[in-house]
Structure 1
């Protein structure tokens, strides 16, 4: 394929991965590409077993099992995952709540691992979910580990209010980041999802750069203020052990 054809194919795959089952018109709106251009790319991707089209009348496009198998074999972030999984399993057993590992993709985090709580009522974010930095426990933890100019640039952009309790004003976020840096963990009470509270901490590499964030998430009815210090300490220390395994000595 020509270079532009490769770019078109990758943009198709990224859009389908983000939105799930998606029609051609919506795909065109989200990518800014013409339907004719998209159909050519989709035909090739379908032939290679990366995408599939549902039966009419919906005729939506989705990724195939083949696509998921190939990408999972790539082990994106495998060094981080190897350093993290044993620690995250221990954190899940200690708290009984859902544990998330999130990695940055530009100015959002993406859920790359999730260890589920055994409780019927629990937090749930699908793998691949894109999370805003200012409105989530992992996101705020990640922001707290960034340099001031990086944070300032992020806060200059639009801050979506995901719930009525989301931090959507720069002054609110700056104040929260100061508190996170002082105690070493974030507390996000229903800022991302109504009824869900999470506590997070950043993970750093050998150079001291934030490469991920982890969180403990669960119903606000269970993760009450009385548990913040214990859970916050647990997630901070877990993130510290993962960071140490990556070579961080701060």
Structure 2
């Protein structure tokens, strides 16, 4: 049983940090390199991971992991409904579009449409984002029940950059502003070079089930572009909400 649990732990860390090597995984998981290597070989043989760019020492998820995870969360229907809306949003903004869902206290990227611009953000499918330090997460948090917010604030909020909101009172005020204006903004709060504008997707019970975001290099998130992105992503999220009801 321990070997199975260790293999699953390795798979989760590959998903979060891909591409990643055995040494880094061993340090993160506090496991012997030999144990991590055995888990990687097992996952590779089962088709869950693959060598990244032909480098055997660095690993990434295969589409098998994404497909199984999506079926487990019922996300294939959401992705199918979202794709034409995401295509239209990409056309309107000419930027990278993300669809994320809340899972285990994080936001998980389940679909991505990339911009044609040479300078762009880059994130692998299956990657997770912190709730308090991403536009996607803050859009969902702002429409979550008070208990979910209280649980998040029980522990100290991690700081990722100089602009990460870690003060509980400041975060609550930010979430109130998001509810009023209808969208969330990430101004380099998770990665200093990345910005995003996001809006929540609500289910039939008015609870958040996903968020859509426009993702750009921070240099392209300006006083002029932000309201344009906000209007476009808010309309797209509203359209997807209507489809999911």
Whether the TM-score (by the shorter chain) exceeds 0.5 is yes
Are the structure 2 counterparts of residues 49 and 176 from structure 1 closer, same or farther at C-alpha, using a change threshold of 3 Å?
closer
Contact in 2 for aligned 1:97/1:117 (Cα 8 Å): yes
Does the CA-based 8 Å contact 2:50-2:62 persist in structure 1? no
Aligned residues: 238
**CA distance, structure 1, for counterparts of residue 219 and residue 34 of structure 2:** 51
Runs of 5+ in structure 1 lacking a partner?
Answer: none
Q: Say if 1:143 and 1:177, in contact at 8 Å, map to a contact too.
A: yes
TM score, norm. by length of structure 1: 0.82
Match of 2:198 among 200, 212, 221: 200
The 4+ residue runs of structure 1 with deviation greater than 6 A are none
Partner of 2:146: 148
State the partner residue of 1:174.
Answer: 172
Q: How big is the shift at 1:62?
A: 2.5
Q: Which residue of 2 aligns with 1:68?
A: 62
Partner Cα separation in structure 1 for residue 35 and residue 217 of structure 2: 45
1:8 and 2:2 aligned:
no
> Secondary structure of the equivalent of 1:134?
coil
Judged with a 3 Å threshold, the aligned counterparts in structure 2 of structure 1 residues 93 and 175 are, in CA distance, closer, same or farther, namely same
Are 2:15 and 2:127, in contact at CA under 8 Å, matched by a contact in 1? no
Map Cα deviations across residues 48-89 of structure 1 (whole Å, 9 max, x no partner): 4545689xxx973635xxx61433444711011011110011
Question: TM-score, normalization: structure 2?
Answer: 0.83
Q: Distance in 2 between matches of 1:126 and 1:211?
A: 20
Larger Rg: 1
Unaligned 5+ runs, structure 2 = none
* Cα offset, 1:136, TM superposition: 1.3
